[in-house]
């Protein structure tokens, strides 16, 4: 199995059996996102402590394998991360998915970065990039406490 096949395998696995796909009971921040180009929908739930560190994170939604895998992997990796760490990982991921060849953050372990790199194949397809970034833009909105629904049409 080559790297590309391994990446696709991991995406399919997360897409079919997403992790953290539920509504946590004690959330105190939330945001919804919609990708009209593909029909992907995601609703992020966060339990933040007083310092905006993520104590718990989950999501509900429906959509293509890329959007569900991205939300599944994102929620796995950001649980128990501090606000600054979350911001760093989000920025790093968004840069990588559009143009950067590799992730540069030191917040994540190598095998954690590998899971995000599984999504790097969408880089060549701008419409698919929106599927991969939907949950990340929605997370940022939830962290900021904004009420408006995220629409990927508004992002590059
Ligand atoms: Zn999609």
Task: Say if residue 11's pLDDT is above 70.
Answer: yes
CATH class of 3-144: alpha beta
- Give me ligand 1 centre to Cα 134, in Å: 9
- Give me ligand 1 centre to Cα 20, in Å: 19
Residue 17 confidence (pLDDT) = 96
- Percent residues over pLDDT 70 in the chain: 99
Q: What is the mean pLDDT of residues 25-42?
A: 96
Between the alpha carbon of residue 128 and those of residues 29, 140, 142, the distances in Å are 27, 19, 22
Residue 13 confidence (pLDDT) = 95
Q: 83 Cβ partners below 8 Å, 6+ apart?
A: 51, 52, 53, 54, 143
- Give me ligand 1 centre to Cα 41, in Å: 9
pLDDT tens profile 47-100 = 999 999 999 999 999 999 999 999 999 999 999 999 999 999 999 999 999 999
Which sequence spans correspond to the domains of the chain?
3-144
Residue 4 confidence (pLDDT) = 87
Task: Please give the angle made by the CA atoms of 80, 84 and 88, to the nearest 5 degrees.
Answer: 100
CA 125/CA 142 separation, integer angstroms: 27
- Give me ligand 1 centre to Cα 34, in Å: 10
How high is the mean pLDDT of the chain? 94
**3-class DSSP state for residue 29?**
strand
Single out the residue of 87, 50, 65 nearest to residue 18, CA to CA. 65
pLDDT tens profile 85-94 = 999 999 999 9
32 DSSP 8-state letter: E
Residue 124 confidence (pLDDT) = 86
Residue 44 confidence (pLDDT) = 97
Query: Which two three-digit tokens encode residue 22?
Result: 């539920």
CA 122/CA 21 separation, integer angstroms: 23
Instruction: Using pLDDT thresholds of 50, 70 and 90, give the confidence band for residue 40.
Output: very high
Instruction: Give CB contacts under 8 A, 24+ apart, made by 96-105.
Output: 96/120, 97/122, 97/123, 97/129, 97/132, 97/133, 98/123, 98/129, 98/156, 99/123
- Give me ligand 1 centre to Cα 109, in Å: 27
Single out the residue of 82, 90, 76 nearest to residue 20, CA to CA. 76
**3-class DSSP state for residue 47?**
strand
Task: Say if residue 156's pLDDT is above 70.
Answer: no
Q: What is the mean pLDDT of residues 130-155?
A: 91
- Give me ligand 1 centre to Cα 49, in Å: 31
């Amino acid at each position: 199995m080559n790297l590309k096949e391994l990446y696709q395998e991991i995406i399919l696995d997360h897409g079919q059996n997403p992790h953290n796909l539920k509504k946590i009971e004690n959330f105190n921040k939330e945001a919804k996102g919609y990708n009209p180009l593909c029909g992907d929908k995601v609703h992020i739930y966060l339990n933040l402590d007083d310092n905006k560190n993520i104590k718990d994170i989950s999501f509900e939604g429906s959509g293509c394998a890329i959007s569900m895998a991205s939300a599944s992997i994102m929620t796995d990796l950001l649980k128990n991360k501090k606000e600054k760490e979350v911001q760093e990982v989000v920025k790093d991921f968004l840069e990588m998915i559009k143009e950067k060849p590799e992730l540069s953050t030191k917040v994540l372990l190598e095998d954690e970065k590998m899971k995000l790199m599984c999504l790097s194949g969408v880089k060549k397809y701008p419409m698919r990039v929106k599927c991969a970034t939907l949950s990340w833009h929605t997370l940022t909105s939830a962290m900021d406490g904004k009420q408006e629904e995220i629409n990927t049409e508004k992002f590059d």
